[in-house]
Structure 1
């Protein structure tokens, strides 16, 4: 009679399938930050974009691929560089839509005389570069913001902002 509760307990629990108890994070693959050539950096946040001057240039996938390339369209010119002299893009003769870009744009906050702007890279992929441009003018408040997108499709550069797209060919 004393064995009956034990026998019932054993029969009940042996009929249930065995459960493998896992921590919820065990099934997820560990995300690791990698640079443009695939080297892993486990200590860095894999969701942050590290592309920028200094040690971050090795993380710039787009700029590594298109470093020192020039693209032209009807008198306008765009040139990419992997942060030589801290610049990543220079734009010339594209009307007034890219103020002060002929000298080259840098990421972060820049002041030119009384004029101030801030640029932050939003997307950095092998054939796509997108960056935000906040223009302050001479005040401390943002006057306007623009998202620029550079995408190479079938060997031509599509440069887009404010719903407009300009097509540039390699030169």
Structure 2
């Protein structure tokens, strides 16, 4: 009887100890993914919470831009659309990752944006990448104007779903682009004049 009582006490003590251990055992931190470039090379020393996509050596970190490098997207239903045609680039030979071609029957404009800070004609803006996946690219456009403080910020979101480019922005714009079939040759485009601004990568 004494042996049986001791056995119960032993198991009771063991059970309490294990219960206390589970209750007070510290939580393990979440394991973050290792930074990997588009070629599969891993960089364990880099912070996985940082987006390293950018010009130069950073181009190999650009998931979206590498997949959709040199692709052009347009409003295929309207030649003169409210939305500019878009061309993506993985910083090939230049610092620009996106270019816009705004078509008009009289004067058409083509320009592009680069990551980071830009000052043009006295106006300043800054672009920060927020999300970069194979089919998703988000970035913040911070506009300073002629001020030293940010006047406003717009987040632009691009996502390719079933071969179509879905666009939305925090200022309320949304659109779905199709792969462009347009001929962009200067003597073919239906406009009186094309003004090429900084960053145009259509030519």
Alpha-carbon distance in 2 for matches of 1:94, 1:62: 26
CA RMSD of aligned residues (A): 2.8
1:92-171 aligned at under 5 Å gives the runs 92-93=101-102, 102-161=110-169, 162-171=171-180
Which whole-Å CA distance do the structure 2 matches of 1:29 and 1:147 have between them?
28
What SS class does the counterpart of residue 43 from structure 1 fall into? coil
* TM-score between both structures, scaled by the size of structure 2: 0.67
Aligned equivalents of 2:32 and 2:132: distance in 1? 21
* SS state at 2:85 partner: strand
Q: Provide the secondary structure at the position in 1 that maps to 2:65.
A: helix
TM-score under structure 1 length normalisation: 0.79
How many residue pairs match? The answer is 159
| In the alignment, structure 1 residue 71 sits paired with structure 2 residue 80 | no
C-alpha deviation, 1:12, in angstroms: 7.2
Residues 141, 29 of structure 1: CA spacing in aligned structure 2 closer, same or farther, 3 A cutoff?
Answer: closer
Which position in structure 2 is the counterpart of 1:55? 57
Measured in 2, the distance between the counterparts of 1:57 and 1:151 equals 19
Q: Distance in 2 between matches of 1:53 and 1:29?
A: 29
Number of the residue aligned with 1:42: 44
Structure 1 unaligned regions, length at least 5: 1-7, 96-100
Distance 2:103 2:132 in 1: 23
2:93 is the counterpart of 1:82 = no
For 1:30 and 1:137, how far apart are their aligned partners in 2? 38
Structure 1 distance, partners of 2:60, 2:110, is 24
